[in-house]
Amino acid sequence: MGRIKVLLVFGTRPDAIKMAPLYLELKRRPEFECLACVTAQHRKMLDDVLDAFGIKPDYDLDLMKEDQTLAYITAGVLTGLGEVLRREKPALVLVHGDTTTAFSAALAAFYEKIPVGHVEAGLRSYDRYFPFPEEMNRCLAGRLAEYHFAPTARNAENLRRENIMGKIFITGNTVIDAMKYTVGDGAFKTPALAALNFTSRRVIVMTCHRRESYGEAIAGIFRAVRRVAESFDDVSVVYPVHLSPYIRETASKILGGAPNILLIDPLDAAEMHRLISKCFFVMTDSGGLQEEAPALGKPVLVLRRETERPEAVESGTVSLAGVDENAVYTCACALLNNDSEYDRMARAVNPYGDGNACPRIADAISHCFGGGSARPEDFCP
């Protein structure tokens, strides 16, 4: 048999971080011909990840434009990727997670009758509008996929309960694999981070950008964070601010001017992981950071009403703080004032695997397309 041609499609910073180690794993194996197509749903933040991992895409749809809509991204991926698929005719298209790129790419492959593999499959909040549009994106991608690479047993059970068609593999999460490439002891490239004293100050890393929180929820979160910064003299808050004009304007209005709140531009993957490894704890509405920070022994306060990662809540690595100003402030103060609560979260076991998700996914694809007697459950961590 010939080499197995696999096309990875991704377009945002988070899914690029999680697909990069899988791309590198497939590239190093002789049984695969591995190609990458980026949509550039995010442009600069995507390019930062590509540079960090040394990846040069074979195709770049270059879709991002000012004030882009979800419909524009979907239509652009369908049209642009369709041409790539007809030219390359891959044996398998791999998409990741819950982005509009993932759903649209899965649909484009389905239209060409090309099998789809869904990496980070089976996450569910069971509320179609929270997170928006991510919950429906991952549900629809799951319906279109034939191969499902679930990070945890709970994710796999979600798929079975929904009678999802295809083969399900439990692999762990590829973001843990990514950290093998990014976390190191090197100095910060960002001058403002290099100037921070991580020994004498407790540094809180914050990210916040979810569309469904636009409005009072975002404002309440920002007010809570400012109160935390004003209440503790030894605390510094570092916020790499998302490029969304709304987020940047609101953050500047509420958080700007506070002497111990540092508002900076988004960081590349290596710089962000280095920052998390040195920080005290993380406050975030990101999905990926709920997996990444616990791998580095850092508690996480989730700035959302729900999470599609309940394993992290149950294991104790994250706590659901919500979006109410007083609730967020109280949760942050609890970690800053209570050493036993902090230690409980910091020492909890990360449920997202051992950093070998990418080899398991590669083995599973090789099994499915190259034969062999292994079963899906043989690839469980």
Measured between alpha carbons, how far is 116 from 141 in angstroms, rounded to an integer? 9
* 242 flagged as catalytic: yes
Given 15, 48, 134, 308, the catalytic residue: 134
CB 355 within 8 A of CB 172: yes
Write the CATH number of the domain with boundaries 4-173+353-379. 3.40.50.2000
* 42 flagged as catalytic: no
Q: Write down the pLDDT at residue 381.
A: 52
CB 335 within 8 A of CB 363: no
For the chain, helix, strand, coil in percent to 5 are 50, 15, 35
> How distant is the alpha carbon of residue 288 from its chain centre?
3
> Please, is 373 exposed, middle or buried when counting C-beta atoms within 10 Å of its C-beta (0-12, 13-18, 19+)?
exposed
Given 242, 274, 305, 309, the catalytic residue: 242
* CA distances for 84 relative to 9, 65, 105, 114, 368, angstroms: 11, 21, 11, 12, 23
DSSP state of 144: H
CA dihedral of residues 164, 165, 168, 173 (deg, nearest 10): -50
Measured between alpha carbons, how far is 254 from 86 in angstroms, rounded to an integer? 49
Measured between alpha carbons, how far is 192 from 223 in angstroms, rounded to an integer? 23
Radius of gyration of the chain (CA): 20
CA nearest neighbour of 289 among 1, 13, 3: 13
Phi, psi of 204 (to 5 degrees): -100, 125
Neighbours of 4 (CB within 10 A): 20
Enumerate the domain spans of the chain.
4-173+353-379, 191-346
Per-residue model confidence as pLDDT tens digits over 142-160? 999 999 999 999 999 999 9
Reading the block at residue 71, the tokens are: 């419909």
DSSP state of 180: H
pTM above 0.85, yes or no: no
* 120 flagged as catalytic: yes
Given 15, 60, 98, 177, the catalytic residue: 98
Q: Write down the pLDDT at residue 372.
A: 53
Given 120, 135, 271, 292, the catalytic residue: 120
Given 13, 43, 118, 209, the catalytic residue: 209
* 209 flagged as catalytic: yes
* 265 flagged as catalytic: no
CA nearest neighbour of 207 among 45, 353, 54, 337: 45
Name the β-bridge partners of 8: 36, 94
Neighbours of 354 (CB within 10 A): 12
Q: Which residues of the chain have pLDDT under 70?
A: 1, 184-185, 371-381
Measured between alpha carbons, how far is 182 from 239 in angstroms, rounded to an integer? 19
Tracing tokens 């902090």 back to the chain, one arrives at 342
* 98 flagged as catalytic: yes
Write the CATH number of the domain with boundaries 191-346. 3.40.50.2000
Q: Write down the pLDDT at residue 379.
A: 57
Reading the block at residue 78, the tokens are: 């369908």
Given 154, 201, 211, 248, the catalytic residue: 211
